[in-house]
Amino acid sequence: MAIQELTIRTPDDWHLHLRDDALLQETVPATSRCFERAIIMPNLTPPVTTAAKAEAYRQRILAAIPAGQRFEPLMTLYLTDQTSAQDIADAKVAGVVAAKLYPAGATTNSSAAVNSLERLDPVFAALAEAGMPLLVHGEVTDAEIDIFDREKVFIDRHLSRIVAEHPQLKVVFEHITTADAVEFVQQGPERLAATLTPQHLLMNRNDLLVGGIRPHNYCLPILKRATHQQALLDAVASGSSKFFLGTDSAPHSQSSKESSCGCAGCYSAWSALELYAQIFDNLGVLDKLEAFASEHGANFYGLPLNESRLTLVRESWTVPERIQLPQGESMVPFYAGREVQWKLKQPS
């Protein structure tokens, strides 16, 4: 008989957008319900470019943790053309754990980010020196490059060089979407790893475009063809420690998604862990979920494993169609209105 309950070490989310201010009241509990730590993306407006800004943001996140819950935000620095080696050293002292590289214009709130990757070599050297991973949004932004090819071109033009020229630098290739990225990570050194999102494992570009445009499945990097999705599934099913959980849960209001120029991002925090369980179950590798969700990432970052445990049960439930925010806005969560086969067991 199929396994009905699965108890695992409490997971961490190695790629998460919480946003700021009032929205933290929604996003922090939605993640802390099942993740003990998370890597907090710094693409706020204005972005988190200094140690002081990271610490102030961390305090705002801590203030939104529900009573009785444990959650540790792991802060990151947003790289710009002006970031210096000293900024990295200061961030290290302040407890910032990593730096995020967005090519300017690649995605939400990235206009202030990096225009010239070549100029960042001293910053990469400082990260390597500090033992801080470089987290990469791996897409070129050149207008002439097709949106479906942008990840592969980024590997060829930039990421292969960065990894080769900085032999001590840890690199996380974030939210990978292609067979090319899987192969690049598999063949690279131990210090190169990748995060995988629920949407890129569960869906392909048909889920975005067939039968009408589905704005709630629009994220960046964009969903790719089914052969790439299969390569991502094979990667997680392999059990390789180079691949770990990063939801890229990214809240946007319903009105900004359902628009003539809709925002990129899937707000998956309400169902992400359960959907990963479903994905691993469907692959017949439920036994590999715990390492993917709760061990590989911490080991890569050099952090201790969580001591606590949580339990998932095989029980069908439906993701809500809509989440009402106190400010009057609503959000449509990822997988809205659809059934999920696994459920988080509430502590009794």
On whether 142 is known to bind a ligand per the annotation, the reply is no
Contact 65, 71 (CB under 8 A): yes
On whether 17 is known to bind a ligand per the annotation, the reply is yes
Contact 28, 57 (CB under 8 A): no
On whether 200 is known to bind a ligand per the annotation, the reply is no
In the complex with ligand DOR, the residue whose CB is nearer, 18 or 236, is 18
Active site residue 248: yes
- How far apart are CB 310 and ligand DOR at their closest, in Å? 26
Distances (CA, A) of 183 to 45, 199, 224: 34, 20, 16
- Both tokens assigned to 68: 């009785």
d(CA 10, CA 90): 31
Residue 151 in contact with Zn ion, rule: CB under 5 A: no
Residue type at 219?
A: C
On whether 15 is known to bind a ligand per the annotation, the reply is yes
Q: Which does 264 bind (CB under 5 to 8 A by kind): Zn ion, ligand DOR, none?
A: ligand DOR
How many Å separate Cα 344 from the centre of its chain?
Answer: 20
Secondary structure letter of residue 217 according to DSSP: G
Peptide bond into 221 cis (omega under 30): yes
- Both tokens assigned to 42: 């710094």
- How far apart are CB 85 and ligand DOR at their closest, in Å? 26
What are the residues binding ligand DOR (CB under 6 A)? 17, 43, 107-108, 137, 219-220, 250, 264-265
Binders of Zn ion among residues 235 to 254 (CB under 5 A) are 248
Contact 54, 71 (CB under 8 A): no
On whether 53 is known to bind a ligand per the annotation, the reply is no
- How far apart are CB 51 and ligand DOR at their closest, in Å? 21
Q: Which does 220 bind (CB under 5 to 8 A by kind): Zn ion, ligand DOR, none?
A: ligand DOR
In the complex with ligand DOR, the residue whose CB is nearer, 17 or 92, is 17
Side-chain-side CA neighbours of residue 79 (13 Å) = 28
Q: Which does 219 bind (CB under 5 to 8 A by kind): ligand DOR, Zn ion, none?
A: ligand DOR
d(CA 218, CA 276): 19
Q: Which does 9 bind (CB under 5 to 8 A by kind): Zn ion, ligand DOR, none?
A: none
In the complex with ligand DOR, the residue whose CB is nearer, 58 or 137, is 137
- How far apart are CB 45 and Zn ion at their closest, in Å? 15
Contact 157, 124 (CB under 8 A): no
d(CA 171, CA 166): 10
- Residue among 178, 191, 136 at smallest CA distance from 158: 136
Q: Which residues pair with 339 in a beta bridge?
A: 318
Residue 139 in contact with Zn ion, rule: CB under 5 A: no
Count residues binding Zn ion (CB under 5 A): 1
Radius of gyration for the alpha carbons in the chain, expressed in angstroms and rounded: 19
Residue nearest to Zn ion (CB): 248
In the complex with ligand DOR, the residue whose CB is nearer, 60 or 343, is 60
Residue type at 109?
A: N
Q: Which does 108 bind (CB under 5 to 8 A by kind): Zn ion, ligand DOR, none?
A: ligand DOR
Q: Which does 323 bind (CB under 5 to 8 A by kind): Zn ion, ligand DOR, none?
A: none
d(CA 100, CA 236): 23
- How far apart are CB 332 and ligand DOR at their closest, in Å? 14
On whether 252 is known to bind a ligand per the annotation, the reply is yes
On whether 137 is known to bind a ligand per the annotation, the reply is yes
In the complex with ligand DOR, the residue whose CB is nearer, 43 or 76, is 43
- How far apart are CB 157 and ligand DOR at their closest, in Å? 19
Q: With b meaning 16 or more CB within 10 Å and e meaning fewer, what string describes 310-325? A: bebebeeeebeeebeb
In the complex with ligand DOR, the residue whose CB is nearer, 248 or 281, is 248
Which among 12, 87, 180, 248 is annotated as catalytic?
248
On whether 269 is known to bind a ligand per the annotation, the reply is no
d(CA 114, CA 105): 9
Active site residues per annotation? 248
Tell me the binding residues for Zn(2+). 15, 17, 100, 137, 175, 248
Positions touching Zn ion (CB under 5 A) are 248
